[in-house]
Structures are given as structure tokens and as C-alpha cells.
Amino acid sequence: MSTQPVGNGRHRVVVIGSGFGGLFGTKHLKRADVDVTLISKTTTHLFQPLLYQVATGILSVGEIAPATRLVLRKQKNARVLLGEVTDIDLEKRAVTSVLLGESTETPYDTLIVATGAQQSYFGNDQFATFAPGMKTIDDALELRGRILGSFEQAEVAQTQEERDRLLSFVVVGAGPTGVELAGQIAELSDRTLEGTFHNIDPRDARVILVEGAGAVLGPMGPKLGGKAQRRLESMGVEIQLNALVTDVDAHGVTVQDADGTSRRIESACKVWSAGVQASPLGKMLADQSDGTEVDRAGRVVVEPDLTVKGHPNVFVVGDLMSVPGVPGQAQGAIQGATYAAKQIKSELAGKQTVQDRKPFSYFNKGSMATISRFSAVCQVGKLEFGGFIAWLAWLGLHLYYLVGYRSRITTIFQWFVTFLGRTRGQMAATEQWIFARLALEAVYSDSEEGEEIVRGAAGRRPPAPSPGTPAVTAESVETGAPEKPGGDRKVG
Ligand SMILES: Cc1cc2nc3c(=O)[nH]c(=O)nc-3n(C[C@H](O)[C@H](O)[C@H](O)COP(=O)(O)OP(=O)(O)OC[C@H]3O[C@@H](n4cnc5c(N)ncnc54)[C@H](O)[C@@H]3O)c2cc1C
């Protein structure tokens, strides 16, 4: 294991995560007399709210995920380390991260943990094989491949039954992500792909939004939820409420209705947007604290100053923190990280002590969800509105929070092309995007040998040729749909 240099004696802040919490926390320490090390398992700052637009061919990855290293280039007191944090030792004050099997230990004086949340399948992780979530760049690209791949397969399908299955898209969960995805898949089939196939009419596609609760956009209340539901229905989206998904397989989903009856929806392309589970680092921190707990979603029930009990130098912010009244949204992460940075700066400048910290207070700036082009719903305080004005507000706000002028300019261009015209600029999809996640899982779960293959492919310690090394083939990877064309070619 290598140890990162201790620095020039300045206060060392380690920030884990390059999402909203990690990046904003780091940026707010720009003028502080500290050395900041930002450690993240991804190379980019991902703007998750626009992931669904990558999945549906509107935006490219670069527009919503600038490289963190480039974003922080001018911040002289900050450096970026790529690696997955696997251990945090609160006693020793050190963080261990791993990059392709190589461990690095980074000591800290103050720690900000902003590792967010991941998709939750409520104990049914096997669903992930057939219904990817929407949390990462890989998820969005895989989904784009699956959506577009389903249309391609439908074009060559031999039977009407198979065509129907391939043209049925199931979105599980009617929160903002589910609503946005369902709306965009409907627009993709009705506007963008219309007239581009010979054997099928993409407008025949069914988009089915399945929700276990009784309302669309439940937390936004009945008025806005009703508006969103009516708009989606006018676009042809089928909304099934009080419908619990109890099983997912390669060919479809099983749904249980409120009266207890079970039924099938045959579908090749399924998307899971139904729940979140906090990063496992939350539990690791709680276990080492003086009695801090995690809630049911694994979020850390932090102290009023966003720290864990007995460790006032360890802040937990963003989706990983549990604070009553603070939603798992970008604003919660930004405000929490800004608060943590402010405490660090004030204490180092001698303006306050740990005991003087005022509790974190959240300013609710509202929430919004877009449904289709020209239509969104918006809630600001007691004000609730929907339609075109809400959509313009949504557009402006998302542009404002996108990082980097270049991203903003190209995003405006892509939106112009998509919303005013019928085409989309990012309709590429490859076989690798669809199958790589499952192939990698197979490689890693297989053996140490599999891990060596990946390390070797990445230019690290190439593995010695081994006649016994199992080949990863399409057959060895049990994928969901769309089925891999030319099924005997190697995936890896
Ligand atoms: C599809 C989608 C749509 C959304 N839409 C909206 C919206 O419209 N409006 C809104 O306000 N909010 C929205 N959100 C929520 C918002 O994106 C989150 O609340 C916000 O990103 C939380 O920020 P965070 O910094 O806590 O976590 P994240 O942004 O998730 O960042 C976590 C970071 O930690 C890193 N990481 C995780 N584990 C490790 C580890 N072990 N080691 C090293 N690094 C690690 C990750 O790589 C990532 O960089 C949406 C979320 C999703 C998924």
C-alpha cells in the first residue's frame, strides 16, 4: 500500500465523492489555508438529473459529466485521486482507496464524506440483471443501448408476439426519474424514430409506468402529480398505480395489484427507478462513531452539525446524510457541503470553535420534474405550477447548475435540435454498452484470474497466458434483453 504525502504541514481535508456534495465542498475550500484531496471512484462530476437525457439520446456523456480534474484545475490547494474508498479509519484518521487492486492510504485532519446513494432493489438484487437502474453513466449508456436495441430487434422479429414484447417498455417507479424517462421514451418513439423503420411503426411502442404507491410524483402532492399523470397519459404512456413489481426476468415483469392478483407484462426493456440505498461507507462510519446510527436506507443520522458522534472532524453530506426535512436532492448536497466547508474555514481562521457551530439549516428552494418537451411541473414554497412556464424554469435551472460554459453551450444546442426538431444528436449505441456491466460482473465474480484479466487489460501487470482461463461468452453471461445478436461471439 502506498501512502499519500502528508503535505506542507497545512490542515488536510479529505473529501470523498465528486458528486454535488464532494465538488461543492471542495470548491468552497478554494480560499482556505488547507490542502484538499478529493477521492472519487469516478473520474467525473456527474450531473445525475440529466442522466435520462443521455439514456434517451438527447445529450452526450461529456455534457453532463465533465472531468473533475479539469473542473478543479485552477484550484491550487486541491488535488484529485481516482480510487474506490474501501476503508475509513476514524481512530487513525486515514482513508484507504483502491485503484485496480493498488491501495493508497490518505491521512486527514478533517473528512467530508459525500458518497451518495445507489439503486435499491429492496433485497431483490437479481432484478438488476434485467432492469438496470439510473445512477451512473454506465447505467444511462446501457439503457440507451437497450432501448434502441429493442426497436432494432423488433424490426427483424419473426412473430407479432415477439414484436409486441420488444416494443413494450416498462419503467418501474413513478418518481421524477421514472416520469422523465417514461416521457422521453414516448417522445423518442413517437417523434424521433417515427418513419425510420420499414417493418414496424415505432409509434406502436407501449410505455408502461408501474408504481407501487397510489400516485405519480407522490411527494410533490396530488395537484402536480395529477398534472404529470394527465400529461403522460395524453402522450400515450400507460400508468399503473398500486401495482407492485414482484419479479423481473429477461422476458418481462410480474406485477401484483392492490387486490392481491398477479399478472405479467411481457417486456424486453425494463428500467428500475424505484428506490435508493445509501453508500455502504455510511454504516462503516456509524459503526466507528460513539453511537451514530443509520436509517433504513443506510443514510447516516448525523448530528445537527452534520458530523458523526464523537468525531466533530468527520462531516457526512448529501444523499448519504439523514436530516429531517432535507430531501435527497442536489440542493441538500450542495447546502450540506457548503455548510461543512464554512465550519472548517471559520474554525481554522479562529472565528469559532467546534462548540460554537450553529446547526445546519436547509433552505428549500423547491423541486421540479420535466415530463416532455414544453411540459414540466414545479413546486416553489406554496406555489405549484405546471406546463410551459414550469418547463422554461426547469431548463434555466438545469443550465445554471451544469458545470462548465462549454457544457452549457453544447447542451443548449442539443436541446434546440431535440425540442424544436424531430432528431436527436446522440443516438449511437454499441453492443459493449449493453453487455459490459454483466460481462464485468461475471469476470470479477468468477475468480482472481478474472480480476487479473481486467487489470492486465488496463495496462497493469498483464496476466500470464493461462490455457485454463475461462472465456467469457454471451452464454456465460445471463443477460436480460435485448438478446445479444450473433450469440456466439465473445463479450470480453
Ligand atoms: C436519475 C436521477 C435524477 C435526479 N434528478 C434530480 C433533480 O431533478 N433535482 C435534484 O435536485 N436532484 C435530483 N437527483 C438527486 C441528486 O442527483 C442527488 O441528490 C445528488 O447527486 C446527491 O449528491 P451527493 O454528492 O450526495 O451524491 P452523488 O452525486 O451521488 O455523488 C456521489 C459520489 O461519490 C462517489 N463514490 C461513491 N462511493 C464511493 C467510494 N466508495 N469511493 C469513492 N467514491 C465514491 C461517486 O463516484 C460520486 O462521485 C437525481 C438523481 C438521479 C439518480
Neighbours of 43 (CB within 10 A): 16
Residue 4 has pLDDT above 70, yes or no: no
Tell me whether residue 41 is exposed, middle or buried, using C-beta atoms within 10 angstroms of its C-beta: 0 to 12, 13 to 18, 19 or more.
middle
> 201 falls in which pLDDT band (50, 70, 90)?
very high
Helix (H, G, I), strand (E, B) or coil at 83: coil
Pocket test for ligand 1, best of 16, 59, 96, 329 (most atoms within 8 A of CB): 329
Q: How far apart are CA 431 and CA 425, in angstroms?
A: 19
* 293 C-alpha to ligand 1 centroid (Å): 21
Instruction: Give residue 311's pLDDT.
Output: 98
Phi first, then psi: give them for residue 386, nearest 5 degrees. -140, 180
Nearest CA to ligand 1 atom 27: 116
Contact 454, 440 (CB under 8 A): yes
pLDDT in tens, 298-317: 999 999 999 999 999 999 99
pTM of the model: 0.90
Residue from 63, 180, 187, 303 carrying the catalytic annotation: 180
CA proximity to 309, closest of 332, 293, 297: 293
Residue 278 has pLDDT above 70, yes or no: yes
DSSP annotation string for 245-271: EEEEETTEEEEE-TTS-EEEEE-SEEE
pLDDT in tens, 149-199: 999 999 999 999 999 999 999 999 999 999 999 999 999 999 999 999 999
Cα 65 to Cα 23, 76, 396, 409, 411, distances in angstroms: 12, 22, 18, 14, 12
The DSSP code for 30 is T
Taking the CA of residue 21 as reference, the ligand 1 atom at the shortest distance is: 25
Q: Is 180 a catalytic residue?
A: yes
Helix (H, G, I), strand (E, B) or coil at 421: coil
* 464 C-alpha to ligand 1 centroid (Å): 39
pLDDT in tens, 354-406: 999 999 999 999 889 999 999 999 998 889 999 999 999 999 989 988 887 78
E-state strands within 140-229:
168-172, 206-210
Domains in the chain, please, with CATH?
2-41+83-119+277-356 (3.50.50.60), 125-274 (3.50.50.100), 432-479 (no CATH)
Instruction: Give residue 456's pLDDT.
Output: 66
Provide mean pLDDT across the span 456-481: 46
E-state strands within 300-450:
300-301, 307-308, 311-316, 321-322, 367-372, 375-380, 383-387
Tell me whether residue 475 is exposed, middle or buried, using C-beta atoms within 10 angstroms of its C-beta: 0 to 12, 13 to 18, 19 or more.
exposed
Average pLDDT, the chain: 90
pLDDT in tens, 135-146: 999 999 999 999
Q: How far apart are CA 6 and CA 485, in angstroms?
A: 52
Phi first, then psi: give them for residue 63, nearest 5 degrees. -70, -30
Nearest CA to ligand 1 atom 44: 40
